[in-house]
Structure formats: structure tokens, C-alpha cells
Chain A
Amino acid sequence: MSLHVDAGQPTRAPMPPSRRRAKPRPGRSFLTWLDLKAAPYLLVSPYYILFLIFGLFPLAFTLYYSFFDYDLTGTVEWTGLGNFTALLDDAAFWRAVVNTLAMFLIATVPQILLALLLANALNKRMKFQLFVRLGVLLPLVTSVVAVAVVFTQLYGRDWGVVNWVLGWFGADPIDWKAERLPSWLAIATMVDWRWTGYNAIIFLAGMQTIPKDLYEAASIDGASRRRQFWQITVPMLRPTMIFVVLNSTIGGLTLFAEPTTFYNGNVHGGTTSQFQTVSMFIFEQGFREFDYGYASAAAWLLFLLILIGSAINFLLIRRIGGNK
């Protein structure tokens, strides 16, 4: 509780610290009101004003646009739900949805598991602790486009390091860009490389709040380390897990830079759109085909996808700790 309740009292007057007991002069009451009642609103208002202009207004207009048909000649026509029904019938849109979901799953599941194990390793006592943590976080400071450029080269068909290494084991070179699964894998590794360390540091923060006597009690009861990890660490990390998973869900379902760079900056996502994501689809429809209505409708369906994805993940995580 702050002292707002007794706002009218003399001590409330906005005075320099040295003159604490001064009586409020008549002209001060407006200032006092301003200071105590209006100040909170003034402090939060910049956020909401900007949000109104650059958040809510575009959001509302996306809905509005999604009811219209735009074409390249500039003709605008009301279609009602036409864009939405057309999208649900559009094989290209569904392909983008499948691509996005597949890459999201391929990237996120191993990423969360790896981050957990990595955090567990980082949580041990060792020398050069700060150095190790910085090393793990290093990928975060690179730029997405830079990462994608490097990985695209590493995954090159003819001169790529990955194929070269695979060659040691007698594998034939893989044309990573040409087909669906290889391209998904390649893009998923770019995402994982960048974010696993970051998530590990966040998990580590969560792990350090778990009381150590839980582990001591468990090991006295004879629980193995592995068992302690799955039965104590993981359930206790639930709040952190929610944060990490929801973050990865939004990031994963709005994937754009990596797959775009993988195809030399083209939003078509490969020759047959084999790795085009929903975000790239929206970009293509809106800013290559200039069908603003169609792109807007796709944006709403993407949002729906994110809501469903987040809800599923949220329910899954709630069950992790619920088995006790």
C-alpha cells in the first residue's frame, strides 16, 4: 500500500524534501491532484497512445480489409467472408500452414529438451562459469539474416560443410533446399542454433530458484539423478516452461527471416514453396500480388493458429507438474 489514501493531508504537498511540514497553499491543490491522481495515468499513457495508433488501429483495419477483394488494377470489392473461404480452399495456404507447423515442431521439441539438459549442465559447479554461460548465449547476438546466410552456405549442395561431413560416413550429398523434409530440417537447425542457449539461460534462472533440500531429500530416498531431474527439476520449472514455450510458439509460428534468406531473399519459399511459411505467404499475397484483403484474412488465420498453438502448449505444460 502506498499513501495515496490520505491524499489531502499537508504532508502530501509536492515540496522539496527539506520542507516537509509546509502547509498547502490554495494554489497547490490542483498540483496535488495532478501529482497524485493524474500522474499514474500520465505515466502509462505514452504506451497506450502509441498502442492505439500502431497496434489497435492496424489490428482493426486488418479485420476490415479482410472483407474486401483487392486486385492489381486497384479495384476494391466487398466480398464478405469470401477471402476466408477462399483461403481454406487454397492449397498454397495449407501448404504454408503445414510447412510452418512442421518446422515449428521439428525445431521446438528438440530445442526445449536440449535447453533443459543444457541448463542442468550449466547449473553445476565449475570453473569459468561466466565464460561458459556467455559461450552458450553467443548465438543470440548474431543477426538472423547473418545466421541464415551462414547456414545456407553450410547446407549447400555442392560445397556445403554439412554434406562434406556426411560424406565421411559414405552418405550421398543431400540437396537441402530442393525437398520438403531436408529444407525443414535445415531451417529448424538455424532456429535451434540461435535460441537453444537463450532458453537454457532462462531455464537456468528457474532452476536456481528450486530449493536444494528437495534434491537432498530425494537422494536420501535413493532417487537417481535422472529421476530427480524428471521428477523434481522439470515439474518445478513449470512457470519458466510456460514462458519459454509460449515465446517459442509465437516465434516459431511467425518464422520469416530464416526461410526467406534460405531462398536468396525470395518469399516464395523454394521452387515449389516447399518451405514457405504463413508469414511469407502473407508477405507474398500482400506485397507481391497486392491482394491486401487476402493477406489480411491470412493474418487473422495465422493469429488463430497461434492462439490454438499457445492453448495446446499451455494445457500440455500444466499437465507436466500435475502428475503428482
Chain B
Amino acid sequence: MTTISAPAGTRRRTKAPSGATSLWTATPMTRLVLAVTIIISAFPLYYMIVIASRTNTEATDMPPPFLPGGKLGENVQRVLSNPDAHYLTGLTNSLIIACTVTISVVLISTFAGFAFARLQFKGGKVLLLLVLLTMMVPLQQMGIVPLYRLMVSLEWVGSIKAVILPFLLNGFGVFLMTQYTQQAVPNELIEAARVDGASTLRIWWNVVLPAVRPGMGVLGINTFMLIWNDFMWPLIVLTPDNPTVQVAINSLNAKYGTDYVLIFSGTLMSILPLIVVFIAFGRQIIGGLMEGAVKA
């Protein structure tokens, strides 16, 4: 901290070392920037609540309303009972899809991550490289026609199976868990378990799994959000009477484009599960993003 090797005379300008310490404390300007950012971040969400709790005439008032009204319950009722949206079906479908995919992705990635990070096997490097390459390919958009044709020939169009199966794997997940396992599970720990005669599966269960749990958490939340938000594929492969929640909102939006209140109540409900996850695991999300993702 205070020991500075260069002799004082060699400095061009003596602008005081306090520059170094003041670099790390927030100035009023910094605080202002952050405050504005948070307001901008939160405003659309707040505005969603405002409109969702109003009537349509109020929503198109000039100037627009900026405080929540009292009609939220009524509007939610309207969304749930709307015959074109199948909103509750959509909500249930989205929950089932997102949970199934999340569990699968996390498990597959944790398995593969352990193998790539801590087991030596022939071809391991090449296989890992293959995973990294596939991360660069937008598989969903590239393979969309054949995938659809596959679902047609399996007669899965309109069923949520068609949304679940193509997403059970995720290259980013494998990459993330490989990184995370390398960081969280020291080789010595694996070797010690081996010496004690533990089988590979047992090591995975007793040594690796407890250590990489935070990484699994972040990957899980990430995957859940990704799948919850997926829009293009469900729009293609599902029918309007058996939608995901995003497709349900889209049906509302397409059909009742001017019924803002209806649409806003629907969108508000569609992000509730994410908000719950965010409030419950916010600290871990931040920690995980900061720790796991990008120590390249």
C-alpha cells in the first residue's frame, strides 16, 4: 500500500498518491449515475404495474398515469378468463418446461463438467473443444426447419414435449461447469477419494456435487430464465390453445393490440416467477455471475 519503490524525484508530476485511494471511493457523480441507472432499470417494470392496475381509458390519457390504480385484481381476472389466451395453461406449461429443462441441463452439465475438468480420458480435449465450437452456433435458429419437420414426423407438434426435448442440452452449461469444477474441486481432493477407494460415481456424488453447488445454482437460474423467455420455437411448434406463457401474451397482443390493460396484466403475471427467483436468489445470481462465468 504505502511502500512505493520509485524514488520521489523521478515523478513527473506530484499529483499526490491520494489519486489512487480516491479512485476506489464513489464520488457524488458516481452515485448520481448509479441512481439514474437504477431508476431507468426499474421504470418499465413499475410502469407495467401502473398500467396493469388501471382502466383502458386511463391508460391512454395524456399525460399518462404514473401511479398505480386499483383495478389490478379485475384485470388479472380478465386475463385468466380470456378465451383466446389460455393463460393458465400457458403458465403451467412454461413452469413444467422450464423446470424440466433446468434440471436436465444442470445434471448433464455437472456430469460432463466433472469429466472434462477432473478426469483424464482419451479424446477429452477434442470433445471439450467440440462443445466450445457448438457454443458459437445458434443451433435453435439454424436447425429450425429440420427440427420442426422432426416434430411433425414424431407427431409432437402442439405438445410441450416438442419444446422440452431440443433444449435438454446446452453447450454453455458444460463450459460453465467445466470452469467451475476446475476452480472449486482441487485435484488432491479427488485423489484422496480415489485412495480411499471411492468409485467415480461416488466421487461425483460425495466430493464434486457439494463443491459445485453454487455453480449449479447459477446455471440453473440462467437456464430457467432462458427457457422461460424462449419465444421463437414455442411460437412455431405449439398451437395457440396449448401455449407457453410468452406465446399466450403474444396471442393477447396480436388480437387485442389496443387493450393495453389486458396485455400489461398478462405480462406482469408472466414475470412474477422470475421476480420471485430474483428476490430469493439475487445475491447468489450476482455472486455466481461474478465468479463463474468469465475468468478466461
Listed in ascending order, the chain A residues whose CB lies under 8 Å from chain B are: 1-4, 11-17, 19-20, 22, 35-37, 39-41, 43-44, 46-48, 50-51, 54-55, 57-59, 61-62, 65, 117-118, 121-126, 130, 132-147, 149-151, 153-154, 158-159, 161, 164, 193, 197-198, 201-202, 204-206, 208-209, 212, 215-216, 219-222, 225, 228, 239-240, 242-244, 246, 250, 254, 256-257, 260-261, 264-266, 279, 282-283, 286-287, 292, 295-296, 299-300, 302-303, 306-307, 310
Q: Is the CB of A205 within 8 A of B293?
A: yes
Residues of A within 8 A of B146 (CB): 57-59, 61-62, 65, 296
Residues of B within 8 A of A58 (CB): 139, 142-147, 150
- Provide the bound-state CA to CA distance between A144 and B285, in Å: 19
Q: Give B278's nearest chain A residue, CB to CB.
A: A141
A150/B64 contact (C-beta < 8 A), A62-B146, A197-B37, A220-B4 known: no
* Nearest CB on A from B26, distance (A): 4
Q: Is the CB of A145 within 8 A of B231?
A: yes
A121/B41 contact (C-beta < 8 A), A216-B20, A220-B4 known: no
- Provide the bound-state CA to CA distance between A218 and B93, in Å: 56
- Provide the bound-state CA to CA distance between A219 and B6, in Å: 13
Residues of B within 8 A of A2 (CB): 118-120, 187, 190-191, 194
Q: Give B123's nearest chain A residue, CB to CB.
A: A41
Known: A16-B197, A164-B62, A201-B286. 19 other contacts (CB 8 A): A1-B187, A3-B194, A43-B200, A58-B142, A59-B146, A124-B24, A147-B44, A150-B267, A197-B37, A205-B295, A208-B290, A221-B12, A222-B13, A225-B19, A256-B232, A257-B246, A265-B251, A279-B141, A279-B232
20 contacts between A and B (CB under 8 A): A3-B194, A11-B197, A12-B194, A16-B198, A44-B116, A47-B111, A51-B169, A55-B137, A58-B143, A59-B142, A65-B145, A138-B42, A147-B44, A150-B47, A150-B48, A202-B289, A219-B15, A222-B12, A265-B254, A287-B148
Q: Is the CB of B47 within 8 A of A161?
A: yes
Q: Is the CB of A39 within 8 A of B119?
A: yes
Q: Is the CB of B191 within 8 A of A35?
A: no
Q: Is the CB of A206 within 8 A of B25?
A: no
**Ordered nearest first, which 3 A-B pairs have the shortest CB separation?**
A58-B143, A61-B146, A14-B199
- Provide the bound-state CA to CA distance between A50 and B279, in Å: 33
Residues of A within 8 A of B148 (CB): 286-287
Listed in ascending order, the chain B residues whose CB lies under 8 Å from chain A are: 4, 6, 11-15, 17, 19-20, 23-27, 30-31, 33-34, 37-38, 40-42, 44-45, 47-48, 51, 59-64, 107-109, 111-112, 114-116, 118-121, 124, 127, 131, 134, 136-139, 141-150, 165-169, 171, 174, 187, 190-191, 193-202, 204, 225, 228-229, 231-232, 235-236, 245-246, 249-251, 253-254, 257, 260, 263-264, 267-268, 270-271, 274-275, 277-278, 282-283, 285-286, 289-291, 293-296
Q: Give B8's nearest chain A residue, CB to CB.
A: A220
Q: Is the CB of B236 within 8 A of A146?
A: no
The 8 Å CB contact of B271, one of A44, A143, A286, A287, is A143
Counting chain A CB atoms within 10 Å of each CB, which of B15, B27, B37, B64 scores highest? B37
* Nearest CB on A from B183, distance (A): 13
Q: Is the CB of A143 within 8 A of B229?
A: yes
- Provide the bound-state CA to CA distance between A21 and B207, in Å: 21
**Is the contact region of chain B dominated by helix, strand, or loop, or is it mixed?**
helix
Q: Is the CB of A149 within 8 A of B264?
A: yes
Q: Is the CB of A35 within 8 A of B199?
A: yes
Residues of B within 8 A of A55 (CB): 134, 137, 139, 143, 169
- Provide the bound-state CA to CA distance between A266 and B257, in Å: 12
Q: Is the CB of A20 within 8 A of B195?
A: yes
Q: Is the CB of A143 within 8 A of B274?
A: yes
Q: Is the CB of B63 within 8 A of A164?
A: yes
* Nearest CB on A from B291, distance (A): 7
* Nearest CB on B from A35, distance (A): 5
* Nearest CB on B from A238, distance (A): 9
